[in-house]
Structure 1
Amino acid sequence: MTGETNRLSSASARGDLAEVEMLLQNGADVNANNEFGRTPLQVMKLGNPAIAEALLRANANPNVRDHVRGLTITHDAARDGYVDTLRVLMDYGADVNFLDNDGNLPLHLAAREGYLDVVQLLVGCTSSQQCILVRESDRRAFIKGSFLPQAFSVWNMAAGRISEQII
């Protein structure tokens, strides 16, 4: 671990894109662990997709698991509703089918927290149950495959969470 690694992690956590890019240009190791055993991508400010993209362009591994709960950055972004960051992660190869230590996919965490936009994004990408989302128009979507009951269960959980917040 070097001082550059801690600086890159700190800049990522603060959302300081200019410093992240400068450190990467100067050769900071994008996959090195900081003093807490986490990579810059794992500690990044989730609401800043530009930070995620800068780290991923420099070959950050989007599938590193947290050593405590087995979470990936994809789990974190889904759980906290950061759909734009999640899209960037997926564009750079993040696997949305990893289970955490409790058996949760990122989809489950998004549904539990009521993030329908994240659920919509992930339900068509979660292949562990051969779920396929086929869009017929902008207004309708059909789910085909063996995942149908589970997909509606997750969707209903997310919708229920939203309505609880509204009431």
Structure 2
Amino acid sequence: MKTPLRAIALALSLALGSVGAQAQVAPSAAEAAAYTGLHAAAHKGDVAKIQRQVASGAALNATDAYGRTPLHVAAFARQREAIRALAKAGADLNTLENDRYDAVTIASVADDEATLKVLLELGASAKQVTSRYDGTALIAAAHLGHDGVVRQLIAAGAPLDHVNNLHWTAVIESIVLGDGGARHQATLKALIDAGANLQLADRSGQTPLVLAKARGYSTMVSMLEKAGAR
């Protein structure tokens, strides 16, 4: 029989996992087809058109109905050369769209390491507070077990111990919203190796170690115990 704590954690994982999967809204096919100007060029990765639009005075940070700039659109479409062209022209790399996501978090949630690398090299921040949960790109990536993304964000100075409005850190989300598998284990290892605080507890006072034990994630339990977690 599941313990009450484990049952609660599982329910939260399912509920928030479903919400998280829908929180970022990429342009629909209809929206993309209706785009003009820089938004259309960004979606298609048409660098020459971006350059022409910029030369003619197009607004680099103009938004569509969902608050997406051309940079957001390029990030969703994995159009890295378009991102470079927009950045070179002076586009804001850190603008938030209507659901408070930036390009870094968009790439992180998509497990798009190549696009994330370009954004970070261009100077996009890994430190912003994003989403309806007042989280970070690191927390979102840890939730999803995107370990390569997590390592990139850590290297870029992402705040290791940010606490979102659910009172969860990246460490906690890697456990509570993870599946305990290899990629979530690698995510937790990256956070431990980087020096994340393993004693920060959730709103109920449950530490990462207690949460890992409750879910039966023995490998994570071992990792946390070896790192001195209590």
- Normalized per residue, the structure richer in strand is 1
Are positions 1:30 and 2:126 aligned together? Answer: yes
Structure 1 residue 66: Cα displacement: 1.2
In structure 1, C-alpha distance between the alignment counterparts of 2:221 and 2:102, rounded to whole Å:
33
Residue 95 of structure 2 contacts residue 102 of structure 2 at CA under 8 Å; is this kept in 1? yes
Q: Which runs of 5+ in 1 are unaligned?
A: 129-167
Residue 110 of structure 1 contacts residue 116 of structure 1 at CA under 8 Å; is this kept in 2? yes
Aligned position for 1:57: 155
Residue 135 of structure 2 contacts residue 163 of structure 2 at CA under 8 Å; is this kept in 1? no
Residue 97 of structure 1 contacts residue 126 of structure 1 at CA under 8 Å; is this kept in 2? no
Aligned position for 1:156: none
Cα deviation digits, residues 51-88 of structure 1 (max 9, x gap): 001000001111000123x1101011123222111000
Q: Which runs of 5+ in 2 are unaligned?
A: 1-93
In structure 1, C-alpha distance between the alignment counterparts of 2:147 and 2:131, rounded to whole Å:
24
Letter in 2 for 1:39: T
In structure 2, relative to structure 1, the CA distance for the partners of 1:112 and 1:53 (3 Å cut) is same
Are positions 1:15 and 2:111 aligned together? Answer: yes
Aligned partner of 1:78 among 159, 175, 182: 175
Alpha-carbon RMSD across the aligned residues, in angstroms, is 1.8
- Summarize the alignment of residues 1-167 of structure 1 with structure 2, pairs less than 5 Å apart: 2-3=95-96, 6-36=102-132, 37-44=134-141, 46-68=144-166, 70-79=167-176, 80=178, 81=180, 82-128=184-230
Aligned position for 1:140: none
Would you say how many aligned residue pairs link Structure 1 and Structure 2? Answer: 127
- Normalized per residue, the structure richer in helix is 2
Residue 11 of structure 1 contacts residue 19 of structure 1 at CA under 8 Å; is this kept in 2? yes
Aligned position for 1:134: none
Structure 1 residue 38: Cα displacement: 2.0
In structure 1, C-alpha distance between the alignment counterparts of 2:131 and 2:164, rounded to whole Å:
14
In structure 2, relative to structure 1, the CA distance for the partners of 1:35 and 1:121 (3 Å cut) is closer
TM-score by length of 1: 0.70
Residue 104 of structure 2 contacts residue 137 of structure 2 at CA under 8 Å; is this kept in 1? yes
